[in-house]
C-alpha cells in the first residue's frame, strides 16, 4: 500500500460531517510531524501550513457530507478497496485529494509553499469565508476539488472557471379567505406562481473566460427546489407561500432579480463564482498534469472554495483526482492511480509555479 492510499484511509475513517475537529487535529499533527512548515489553527478551525512565509498554495477542506447507511459502521466511516478504487464517504470529496496534497507539500523541494484545509465547505464555505475575511488567501492557489474526466475519460483536467451559488428564500403574502369567496382575497400561492414563472423564463447572459489563448463560455441558471404554502384548511386560501431558489451564477454576469408583488426575496446563502486571471499559472498546472496523461482547461458547474479565494484576489484553478459525479453518492469512490497522479502533479506545481 502506498503512502497516499494509506493516508486517505486514515482520513476517511475520521468522522467529519458533524464536527471536523478530530480530522483537523489529525491533519495538524501530521503536518507538524512530517514537515518543517509553520502550522496553525485559525479561529474557525482551518488548518494552515506555511513554509518560508507561504507562496503557491494547495487548498482543500476536511469536512464531508453525512455518510449513507452503507458507508458507516458503528459510527466509523468505512473505506474499502475494490478494482483499484477506494470506496467510502470522503474518498472523492475530498480526503483522497487532501492526502495527495499533504504528501506533495511535504516532498516538494521549494522554500516557499503553503497548504490549507478549510472547515465547512459543505456548509457554504464558512471556513474559506472566515479566512478571506481575515485577509488570508494563498496566491496563486490550486483548489483540489475533483476535475477528472471533464474533457475526456480519465483526463486530469484543470478548471479555469466555475459557477457560484446563491440560495434565495422567497416569501409571497396574501389573505386567508374562505375558498367560496376566493375572488375577494389574495391567494399567496398565486403570487408565488407569478414569481416562479419569472424564474422559468430566466436566461443568464453568462461569461466568456479566456486562458492561454483559449476561450470558454460559462452560463448560470436557476431552479425552484422547494415550495411550501397551504391554507389553514382545505377550504381556506393561504396567506403565505414560501419557496427556495437555487441559482448558479456565472463570473461577472448579472444575478437573478426576483420581483414579488407582495413579499420579499432574501439571499440566505452564497458562494461566489471563480475565473482564473493568471494564464501562466494555469499553464503551469496543466503542464504538470500532462506529464502523466491528458489534461485540458475546462469549466465546472459547481461552486467551490476557489470562489472565495478568487473574490479575495487570488489567482486560482481547480484540479483534483475525483471524477465528475462521484461526490456525495452512496458509492463514492476515487481511483488509487488518480491519487498518485494528483500527488505528483501537486509536487510539480509547488516546485515550478
Least confident of 22-36, 136-150, 249-263: 249-263
CB neighbours of 351 closer than 8 A, spacing ≥ 6? 108, 109, 110
Are 17 and 36 in the same domain?
Answer: yes
| Residue pair 164/249 in contact by the 8 Å Cβ criterion | yes
State percent of the chain over pLDDT 90: 76
Are 134 and 241 in the same domain?
Answer: no
Q: What is the mean pLDDT of residues 85-91?
A: 97
Q: Provide the domain count of the chain.
A: 2
Are 199 and 230 in the same domain?
Answer: yes
Last residue of a domain, one of 253, 271, 289: 271
Are 11 and 107 in the same domain?
Answer: yes
Q: What is the CA radius of gyration of the chain?
A: 23
Q: Residue 227 is part of which domain span? A: 164-271
Checking 327-333 for CB contacts under 8 A at 24+ apart, the result is 327/92, 327/93, 327/94, 327/146, 328/65, 328/93, 330/68, 330/70, 330/71, 331/87, 332/71, 332/87, 332/88, 332/89, 332/90, 332/91, 332/92, 332/93, 333/85, 333/86, 333/87, 333/88, 333/91, 333/92
Q: pLDDT, tens digit, for every residue of 178-201?
A: 777 666 568 889 999 999 999 999
Q: What is the mean pLDDT of residues 70-82?
A: 94
The pLDDT value recorded for residue 182 is 61
CB neighbours of 311 closer than 8 A, spacing ≥ 6? 132, 272
Are 314 and 199 in the same domain?
Answer: no
Last residue of a domain, one of 251, 271, 291: 271
Q: pLDDT, tens digit, for every residue of 299-334?
A: 999 899 999 999 999 999 999 999 988 889 999 999
Residue 154 sits in a domain whose CATH number is 3.40.630.10
Are 150 and 177 in the same domain?
Answer: no
Are 144 and 219 in the same domain?
Answer: no
CA atoms within 13 A on the CB side of 265: 21
The pLDDT value recorded for residue 174 is 86
Are 285 and 153 in the same domain?
Answer: yes
* pTM confidence score: 0.90
Are 236 and 155 in the same domain?
Answer: no
| Residue pair 90/146 in contact by the 8 Å Cβ criterion | no
Are 13 and 125 in the same domain?
Answer: yes
Residue 247 sits in a domain whose CATH number is 3.30.70.360
Last residue of a domain, one of 221, 250, 271: 271
Are 91 and 228 in the same domain?
Answer: no
Q: pLDDT, tens digit, for every residue of 217-242?
A: 888 899 999 999 877 888 888 889 99
The pLDDT value recorded for residue 126 is 94
Are 294 and 260 in the same domain?
Answer: no
Amino acid at each position: 500500500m502506498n503512502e497516499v492510499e494509506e493516508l486517505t484511509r486514515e482520513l476517511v475513517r475520521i468522522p467529519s460531517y458533524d464536527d471536523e475537529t478530530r480530522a483537523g487535529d489529525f491533519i495538524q499533527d501530521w503536518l507538524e510531524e512530517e514537515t518543517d512548515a509553520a502550522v496553525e489553527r485559525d479561529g474557525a478551525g482551518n488548518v494552515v501550513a506555511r513554509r518560508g512565509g507561504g507562496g503557491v498554495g494547495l487548498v482543500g477542506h476536511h469536512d464531508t457530507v453525512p455518510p449513507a447507511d452503507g458507508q458507516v459502521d458503528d459510527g466509523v466511516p468505512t473505506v474499502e478497496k475494490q478494482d483499484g478504487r477506494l470506496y467510502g464517504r470522503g474518498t472523492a470529496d475530498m480526503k483522497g485529494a487532501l492526502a495527495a496534497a499533504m504528501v506533495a507539500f511535504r516532498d516538494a523541494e521549494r522554500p516557499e509553499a503553503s497548504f490549507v484545509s478549510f472547515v465547512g465547505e459543505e456548509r457554504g464555505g464558512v471556513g474559506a469565508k472566515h479566512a478571506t475575511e481575515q485577509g488570508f488567501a494563498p496566491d496563486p492557489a490550486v483548489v483540489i476539488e475533483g476535475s477528472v474526466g471533464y474533457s475526456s475519460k480519465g483526463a486530469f483536467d484543470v478548471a479555469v472557471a466555475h459557477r457560484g451559488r446563491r440560495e434565495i428564500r422567497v416569501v409571497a403574502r396574501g389573505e386567508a379567505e374562505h375558498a367560496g369567496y376566493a375572488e375577494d382575497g389574495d391567494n399567496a400561492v398565486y403570487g408565488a406562481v407569478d414569481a416562479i414563472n419569472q424564474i422559468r423564463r430566466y436566461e443568464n447572459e453568462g461569461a466568456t473566460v479566456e486562458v492561454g489563448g483559449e476561450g470558454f463560455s460559462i452560463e448560470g441558471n436557476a431552479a425552484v427546489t422547494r415550495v411550501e404554502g397551504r391554507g389553514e384548511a382545505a377550504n381556506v386560501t393561504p396567506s403565505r407561500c414560501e419557496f427556495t431558489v437555487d441559482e448558479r451564477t456565472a463570473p461577472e454576469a448579472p444575478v437573478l432579480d426576483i420581483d414579488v408583488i407582495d413579499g420579499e426575496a432574501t439571499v440566505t446563502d452564497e458562494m461566489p463564482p471563480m475565473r482564473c486571471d493568471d494564464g501562466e499559472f494555469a499553464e503551469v498546472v496543466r503542464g504538470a498534469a500532462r506529464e502523466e496523461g491528458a489534461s485540458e482547461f475546462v469549466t465546472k458547474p459547481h461552486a467551490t472554495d476557489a470562489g472565495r479565494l478568487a473574490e479575495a484576489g487570488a489567482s486560482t484553478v481547480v484540479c483534483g483526482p475525483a471524477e465528475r459525479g462521484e461526490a456525495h453518492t452512496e458509492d463514492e469512490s476515487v481511483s488509487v492511480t488518480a491519487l498518485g497522479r494528483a500527488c505528483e502533479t501537486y509536487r510539480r506545481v509547488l516546485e515550478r509555479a
